[in-house]
Structure 1
Amino acid sequence: MRRNASAPLVSLYLTLLTSTIAPGLLSRAAHAAESNSEATHHFSIPAQPLRTALQHYLEQSGVQVAYPTLAAGNARSTAISGTMTAQEALTRLAAATGLSPRFTGAHSATLGKENSAIMLGPVRVGGRATVLQDAQSAYGPGVGFVATRSASATRTDTPLISTPKSVYVVTRQQMDDLQPLTIGAALRYTPGVVSLTANDSTPSASLFQPVHQRGFESYTFVDGLLNGTSVTDPFFLDRIEALSGPSSVMYGQANPGGLINMTLKRPTEKAQGQANVGFGNYGRYQGQIDLSGPLNKSRTVLYRLIGMGVTQGSQTQYNHYKRLATQGDIEWKIDKKTDITLIGQFAYDPQSWSPWIGIPAYGSLIKSPTGRIPVSRFYGDPAFNENWNRQYMLEALFHHEFTKNLQFNVTARFDAQSDGSCSLMSGAVDVTKNIMKRSAFCNSDAHGRSSQLTANVSYKMKTGPVSHSFLVGVDYRGQWSQGSWGFASAPAVSITDPLYNQYTFSDYIQATGGKSTTAKYAYWQDGIYFQDQINWRRFYVTLAGRQDWNGYGKMFNRPFTWNVGINYVSKIGLAPYFNYSKSFMPQTGKVYSAGNLVQPDPLSGHQWEVGLKYQIPHLQSFMTVAYYDLSENNVLVSDPYFPQYSSEIGQVKSRGVEVSAHANLAQGLDLILNYTWNKVYNSRTTLTGNTISGESVSLLGKRLVQQPTNAASGFLDYHLPKSLAPGLSVNFGVRYQDKSWADQANSFRNPSFILFDTGMSWNAGEVFKAVNGLNFRLNMTNFANNTYVQCGSTRFCHYGNQRVVYGTIGYHW
């Protein structure tokens, strides 16, 4: 009989809650003044133009200020120096401008004329032209390469420094500098994230993006809901967050390594737009447009319209990619406390790359008498190579603020998808005969849909010196899909001299008799979760629990997951933390138990993590150092006594260290540094695997494939001074990945590699005022054109991206 996993958490939670509420109720009046006190900062800002003064104010206080550019004109700030609160400093700074400050949040404020209308018109925030919304909010694009707040770990807008868990954010500026075409490419400079395909510049609309976190495949989420068919091209996003470690307590089923949460672009109060045309090698051509602004004078109805189209080839012959995608947003601010946003998306890929065919290890990673396989080699057949995808999505976000301490939020989504894929698949390699066997696979008439909803109520209260931020919510997820597929034999192909147009759709129909296998899939999940974020002085405690009910066919599970974390934020910006969290993932199969066949329990992950976060005072920066010990239990393996059945005794362990530093070092100088050490291996298993020589060995203690022990990266972007090169920015990046095992038996390795990226951007308007807003950009990944290969077995490997060159001409207004 299993012990109730929630008992320790509930007991601890009730103890903490009663110990804080009881004395707090007795002393509420005595601490009323203390509750309104503000932290002090040291300021040193000389008199100067208001726009540059507010940039220094942001760096020294962490508070972003929006102000009306027309009202400010050429206003100059008053010099301030000394230790004071952020509100006092802003009041003194703007004393001679005729503008009065109003704080709209813990890290945001506005400047406006007294008794002026609410409508501000064009605004600037912290010296940057942007929208009125706080760029450093949990849903904003960040500032430079730095984001200081997130909602992924807690579903609340929480400072990262007081979040006892590893969260890594890719800001909008970082995506603009990298110009990634895929989510995998956008995450290249993120610790703990590994792309297994090596070719992560190839787009994928898959639910699982081709990345792993801490050794486990990542689920992707969009706006806090599982990514069924949402358009996840980086151009449609404001930010990407890698939430590391078990996260089921807020999201339900998920792998223990972590998840990727993306935030779609939202309408803006300021009218703005951009249009870009792009071009690159491998025949890449692309067009993008992004329009946003108010639809009425009162700015209560806002819109955003985004579209893109791309066509390109690849370094592999006969692999092409075409895509059309669009997104439309409408936001209605019903009143000051209520708003609703509707987002619709459509995407169509008439042609995409073939995921089932690769290259063999012999001739690419391993020397072969047949010689080296060219990077461009395609072992499929263009006459039997069809891959297409069509996606629809409608999302609604509702927010209502009953009081400043009581809020209600709902996010709901419906999406649908249809796709088809027919191609040849890699098979066994016979080096002596110089051939690779193949089979034909066709997945036709596949379609699916999903409905999701998460709704929660948040409530903030103080009990004496202790503050609580409560969150109670419900989740629903229903997924349905149906597809027909078939397999057929196909002729082998010569490794050195492949012939094309040898296998057609007629051959496939003849081999299968026109028959296919049809299957339906249905999954549902209901969940209820609670969370209390407790703050006492400089200590922050997070307690959370979740009960799920989920079903897959006739299977049914009721997993309970929980999370507890604590951290201490010191005056100098250092914040040590500890976290323990759990996850679950349903699995199919049959387990032999006491003479009966029963369904297996879900995969159960648990992790403890200890780390240190740091924000350098008076500098836009964020740094994290984390050590974690992660285990996934109930892994299905062969039953040692009844090999024809499975047993849930397997375990995979992952231990590692992650180091991350993001900093806007000076005006126009942004930096990213990352390092990862990770060891992920089979700690309990009865499974065996074959070595490259054919010997059968136990997989106990073997490392997982394509998981490097060490990885490091660094990226620097520098905006040159106007006196030297007006409007010119340059960037440079380096990525290192250690060697990794290329098969389950750990009998041969993928080599380590180092790649270099670079780029430049020029704003022509800083030289020629008549073309203000015109921008030219050029990016190169792997500009040294290093050749490297990554294998997952002897029969399935991919060459990594060769040099990719991409340029854009854009106009912003």
Structure 2
Amino acid sequence: MVLPIQNETLKTEKIIIRNNNYNKLFLTLTSALLLSPQASANNNRTANNNEDTVIVTGEMNGHPEKNFVESDSAAGTKSLTPLIKTPQSISVINRTQIEAQGAMTVADALNYSSGVVTNYRGSSNRNDEVITRGFRYAPKFLDGLSYGSNSSAGTVGQIDPWLLERVELVHGPASVLYGQVSPGGLINMTSKRPTAQTIRKVQMKAGNHSLGELAFDFGGAMGDHIPVLYRLNGLVSTQKQFVKDYKKERIAIAPALTWIPNNNTTFTLLTSYQYDPKAGYRNFYPKIGTVTPVTDVGYMPYNMNLSDPAFNQARREQSSIGYILEHDINDVFSFQQNLRYSRSDERSKYLVYATDLTPTTIGRFPQREHNEIQGISVDNQLKAFFSMGNIEHSVISGIDYKWVDNHSKLWRNRDKEGKYHFDWSNPTWGIPANEKDLSLIQNDKKKLHQLGGYLQDQLSWENWNLALSGRYDWTETTQQNLINSTTKIQKDRAFTGRAGLLYAFDSGISPYISYSTSFEPNLAQGAPGTAAFKPTTGEQTEIGIKFQPKGHDTLLTFSLFDITQKNVTTSNPVIRFSEQIGKIGSKGVEAEIHSQITPEINLIAAYSYTDTKTKRDGRAARVGKKVPSIPEHAASAWGSYSFTQTALKGFTLGAGVRYVGSTSGDYKESFHVNPYTLYDLMAKYDLGEAAFQLKGASIQLNVNNLTNKRYVASCSNVEACFYGSGRSIVATVEYNW
């Protein structure tokens, strides 16, 4: 039989173990599904009736390649598939790229990918909210299961990228395999997994804004005769934010164990705990003073805190426990079950910007929030790999279930007396709000039950590749208003599907076409007294071409897409609740290349053209207008050079540029936000090249937004703008032994 070692960021090796020596097998076997919970233990399997011979195919941990190019992914099909044969656009950001570019958040890791807006909230992006193919917001999945709370009204929760092995962006609808997702795409994050090869790594960071971080990563076998592997990641960090008087503090730890009871079974236990006693800044800014200057005053200071240090809390606690069970039934069938229970508790209080009173004076009101979310997700997959005539089949049939319980409370004081008015040109802080004056205006419990069944067949005949998928979902949403003791129950059913056809030429060129749909029950909170929101649905047609030249470590993807989404929900900052605005259409072009041009040179480049407009809305002024915050044009490029021969051997230098085009400032296109360009730099040195005693040690410097450019990241309307993030300087010292 074949057992895979699935860390795709590392070089594939084959090891033949004879005489059924279990001890040797264990010492060479890394944790199954190190790439992804969907990465099947049955891909590339070779039937072998000789029980004394086991072929282990995989990628040995501890020897990462110095490039960002990935050739396979399981995120789009729940089965490890070459990207060149996947009829869908998928961006893969591996551990090497995350570390080289100094990504401090999952959103940062996507900065050099096509079709995604990662920075629309600037430094106010507490939950890694990103926009994909013109739609808010890309739902997040961890190890193939829904992470945090996802809905078209937003995403809740954030995981530190130190705990992750890779981040993948699936472009376009993927409901057929994942259930409720946005038609723009989804983010799949993969946890670091146990490995048989010893990992001992510590890392320290320091930087501007008083950054300090200590992280560790340990892994290996529990013992020579114990069939258990382990992984332990953790960090402690603190940093002041760009906004005055705000900080981020974090403690995180993620223990994991893999048990290998026999040659056919693996069981991986994944746990995590993350506590952010200070979770950072979140607020809005006015158009006047940010997008347009005020006469005789100019622009609002870039680090302006529109809340108050005397009334400031942002606390978040997250925990989860789950497992991945894989069992090879025989040479054709295998079974996999993923399960996770998660819980989060978020508490915040701040003065919320509400409206302009004069060009420099704003109205604010104190607000306090408390959100408790818990949920269970489970995904059962039966997989079969077989041939019928000249056609090879890779079939997955699955049943998944998700339960989410969300209890949210909101207290506000509308400040009719004007005691919280604020002149940002002559600021005065230290105005504490009396929490007794706040009224409980929202006390809701929302429960979601979702059951889905899906079937997918990937057929291969000569150079043709056909993917056919279908899914049916049953959902029940219960919303309880505990203030007026009312209950609403909404039941929805939906069929979603996908069909994709690709032809892989021997030259490495693969044109494809696909059609897919999406379905998303809506847990967004409307204004009190409003009816429950209708489910959000979408459909996409995509045509594209991929190119992976033979003998070259390069992957190019070019795609054209056309998406229509109905029953779209967005946040209304005036009433501070969500609302459904109707129908949105998005069409565009995306191009992305990852290439190891030479052993020394890495290159990433991406371009996006996105035309997103409101097609139907109750307010006629919005129809035919561009959706705010979505740049029509965006482009990025990153390159690095590693010195391998000269006196500079051990040095790696990298540089990147990110361009984001002009965006509409509101749904009426009454104003626009200027385009901006940011520059990033990286320098790294392997200290082992300087002295043998320092082998395994390295130093690295990352500078993002090199010129400290002042820019407005986006606006949703005149009272919902966001300053972008300023310059970030981070020095990293790492030691592996």
The Cα of 1:784 is off from its aligned counterpart by 1.7
Distance verdict in 2 for CA 1:383–1:163, change over 3 Å: same
2:731 aligned partner: 807
* Equivalent position amino acid for 1:199 in 2: G
In structure 2, the residue matched to 1:678 is: 610
Match in the other structure for 1:217: 137
User: Paired residue for 2:15?
Assistant: 110
Question: Partner residue of 2:290?
Answer: 364
Question: Which residue among 420, 432, 450 is the counterpart of 1:503?
Answer: 432
Amino acid paired to 1:676: S
Work out whether residues 379 and 498 of structure 1, in 8 Å CA contact, stay in contact via their aligned partners in 2.
no
Of the two structures, which has the highest relative contact order with CA contacts closer than 8 Å and spacing of 6 or more?
A: 2
| Aligned twin of 1:328 | 255
Distance of aligned partners of 1:210 and 1:142 in 2 relative to their CA distance in 1, 3 Å threshold: farther
Uncovered stretches (5+) of structure 2, i.e. residues with no partner: 1-8, 36-55, 150-156, 479-488, 571-577
Letter in 1 for 2:541: W
Q: CA deviation at 1:113?
A: 9.1
Structure having the higher Rg: 1
2:10–2:60 Cα contact (<8 Å) kept: no
SS at match of 1:295: strand
* CA deviation profile, 1:494-518 (whole Å, cap 9, x unmatched): 12112111133xx231354xx5642
Residue of 40, 46, 58 corresponding to 1:134: 58
Q: 2:461 aligns with which of 522, 526, 536?
A: 536
- Report the Cα offset of residue 111 of structure 1: 6.5
Partner Cα separation in structure 1 for residue 300 and residue 363 of structure 2: 16
Correspondence 1:562-641 to 2 at 5 A: 562-587=497-522, 601-635=534-568
User: Superposed, which structure 2 residues align to 1:190-269 within 5 Å?
Assistant: 190-199=113-122, 204=126, 206=127, 209-228=129-148, 232-269=159-196
Q: Does 1:737 align with 2:665?
A: no
Q: 1:744/1:296 Cα in 2 relative to 1: closer, same or farther (>3 Å)?
A: same
**2:423 counterpart residue number:** 494
Q: Which residue of 2 aligns with 1:286?
A: 213
2:105 corresponds, among 166, 182, 197, to 182
CA contact (8 A) 1:136 1:147 kept: no
SS at structure 2 position matched to 1:256: coil
Instruction: Note closer, same or farther for the CA distance 1:729–1:133 as it changes in structure 2 (3 Å cut).
Output: farther
Structure 1 contact 482–518 (Cα < 8 Å) conserved = yes
Residue 85 of structure 1 is matched in structure 2 by none
Name 2:308's counterpart in structure 1.
Answer: 381
How far residue 630 of structure 1 moved from its aligned partner, in angstroms, is 0.5
Change (3 A) 1:627 1:586: same
Q: Find the counterpart in structure 2 of residue 165 from structure 1.
A: 88
Deviates more, 1:628-637 or 1:241-250: 628-637
Report the 3-state secondary structure (helix = DSSP H, G, I; strand = E; otherwise coil) of the residue aligned with 1:509. helix
Deviations 1:643-663 (A, max 9, x none): xxx999932100000001001
Question: Are 1:426 and 2:353 counterparts?
Answer: yes
Measure the CA separation in 2 of the matches of 1:610 and 1:502. Answer: 57
Structure with bigger helix share is 1
The size of the alignment, in residue pairs, is: 672
Distance verdict in 2 for CA 1:663–1:122, change over 3 Å: farther
- Aligned position for 2:24: 119
Q: Which residue of 1 aligns with 2:703?
A: 780
Report if the CA contact (8 A) 1:331-1:339 is conserved: yes
Aligned partner of 2:513: which letter? F
Q: How does 1:453-492 map to 2 (within 5 A)?
A: 453-490=378-415, 491-492=420-421
More strand, by proportion: 2
Match of 1:338 among 265, 268, 272: 265
Offset of residue 520 of structure 1: 1.0
One-letter identity of the residue aligned with 2:561: Y
Is the contact made by 2:411 and 2:438 (CA closer than 8 Å) also made in structure 1?
no
| Deviation of 1:299 (Å) | 6.2
In the TM superposition, what is the alpha-carbon distance from 1:124 to its structure 2 partner?
A: 13
The one of 557, 571, 575 equivalent to 2:492 is 557
User: Structure 1 stretch 370-379 or stretch 736-745: which is displaced more?
Assistant: 370-379
The residue identity in structure 1 corresponding to 2:564 is: S
Q: 1:743 to 1:516 in 2, by over 3 A?
A: closer
The one-letter code matched in structure 1 to 2:425 is T
**1:644-793 equivalence runs, <5 A:** 650-688=582-620, 698-790=621-713, 791-793=715-717
Give, as a single letter, the amino acid of the residue that structure 2 aligns with 1:492: H
Q: Deviations over 1:199-233 (max 9, x none)?
A: 25x663x3x63443443321010111110287621
- Distance in 1 (CA, whole Å) between partners of 2:255 and 2:639 is 34
Residues 176 and 615 of structure 1: is their aligned pair in 2 closer, same or farther, counting only changes over 3 Å?
A: same
- The one-letter code of the counterpart of 1:557 is D
1:340 CA displacement:
0.1
TM-score by length of 1: 0.79
1:677-729 residue CA offsets vs partner (Å, 9 max, x unmatched): 010001122325xxxxxxxxx11101110100001101112111232312111
Give the Cα separation in 2 of the matches to 1:112 and 1:199.
52
Distance change (3 Å), C-alpha of 1:114 and 1:508: closer
Q: Hey, what's the Cα distance between the residues in 1 that align with 2:122 and 2:384? A: 46
Instruction: Give the direction of change, closer, same or farther, for the CA distance of 1:231–1:124 in structure 2 (3 Å limit).
Output: same
Distance 2:349 2:383 in 1: 48
Q: Is contact 2:563-2:586 (8 Å) kept?
A: yes
3-state SS of 1:442 partner: strand
The alpha-carbon deviation at position 730 of structure 1 amounts to: 0.9
* Shift of residue 420, structure 1, vs aligned partner: 0.7
Q: Larger deviation: 717-726 or 379-388?
A: 717-726
**Take 2:251 and 2:393, find their aligned partners in 1: how far apart are those partners?**
46
Corresponding residue for residue 5 of structure 1: none
Equivalent position amino acid for 2:315 in 1: W
User: How far apart in 1 are the matches of 2:271 and 2:19?
Assistant: 39
**CA distance 1:298–1:575, shift in 2 (3 Å):** farther
Shift in Å at residue 358 of structure 1?
2.9
1:768 and 1:497 map into 2 onto residues whose CA distance is: 56
Give 1:636 deviation, angstroms.
7.6
CA distance in 1, matches of 2:241, 2:531: 47
Cα contact 2:248–2:276 (8 A) shared by 1: yes
Structure 2 counterpart SS, 1:376:
coil
* 1:520 to 2:455 alignment: no
Mark the CA change 1:420 to 1:412 in structure 2 (over 3 Å): closer, same or farther. Answer: same
8 A contact 1:726–1:767 mirrored in 2: no
d(CA) in 1 for partners of 2:312 and 2:130?
21
Which secondary structure does the structure 2 equivalent of 1:559 belong to? Answer: strand
Name the counterpart of 1:150. Answer: 73
1:135 Cα deviation (Å)? Answer: 4.1
Decide which moves more: 462-471 or 225-234. 225-234
SS in 2 for 1:173: helix
Q: Is contact 1:182-1:203 (8 Å) kept? A: no
8 Å Cα contact 2:393-2:460 kept in structure 1: yes
Determine the C-alpha separation between the residues in 1 that align with 2:110 and 2:469: 28
Amino acid at match of 1:110: I
Contact 1:362/1:431, CA 8 A, preserved across alignment: no
SS in 1 for 2:566: strand
Question: How far, CA to CA, are the matches of 2:309 and 2:537 in structure 1?
Answer: 43
Contact 1:209 1:220 in 2 (8 A): no
